[in-house]
Amino acid sequence: MRAVKSVINAAGLLKRLDPEMPEDQLLLRALRDVNVPKFLKDDLPLFENIISDLFPGVERPNIDYGALMNSCKEACKDLNKQPVEPFLAKII
């Protein structure tokens, strides 16, 4: 039940930030935001398949992280890490 509560809380925060976002995209983003950081890379394709079955035809919303993404890339360079997309997504 804690996982469900976390998704509902995340969806509520997203709704307050962007009241005009369609609810299917909002729930899709909340599910990803809450669950993806907990999964190992081998589990992500399974999760994505489940999500695509639950939300057929729903586009993944594009989020502009702007300064946060730039700071993450700079931190990766400082720490001698490669700022590849999966790693940056995990950071976010």
* pLDDT score at 40: 87
Closest among 60, 86, 58 to 72, alpha carbons compared = 86
Burial class (CB in 10 A: 0-12, 13-18, 19+), 30: buried
Q: Are residues 24 and 56 in the same domain?
A: yes
Cβ atoms 41, 90 nearer than 8 A:
no
Condensed to tens digits (0 to 9), the pLDDT of residues 52-89 reads 898 888 887 777 788 999 999 999 999 999 999 888 88
Q: Are residues 24 and 54 in the same domain?
A: yes
Q: Are residues 57 and 32 in the same domain?
A: yes
Q: Residue 40 sits in which domain range?
A: 1-61
Q: Cβ neighbours of residue 51 under 8 Å, at least 6 residues apart?
A: 28, 31, 32
Q: Cβ neighbours of residue 87 under 8 Å, at least 6 residues apart?
A: 76, 81
* pLDDT score at 1: 64
Q: Are residues 35 and 70 in the same domain?
A: no
Q: Are residues 70 and 44 in the same domain?
A: no
Separation between Cα atoms, residue 66 and residue 59, nearest integer Å? 21
* pLDDT score at 16: 93
pTM of the model as a whole: 0.71
Mean pLDDT, rounded, for 11-35: 89
Q: Are residues 49 and 7 in the same domain?
A: yes
Q: Are residues 49 and 75 in the same domain?
A: no
Number of domains in the chain: 2
* pLDDT score at 87: 87
Q: Are residues 2 and 45 in the same domain?
A: yes
Condensed to tens digits (0 to 9), the pLDDT of residues 30-47 reads 998 888 888 888 998 999
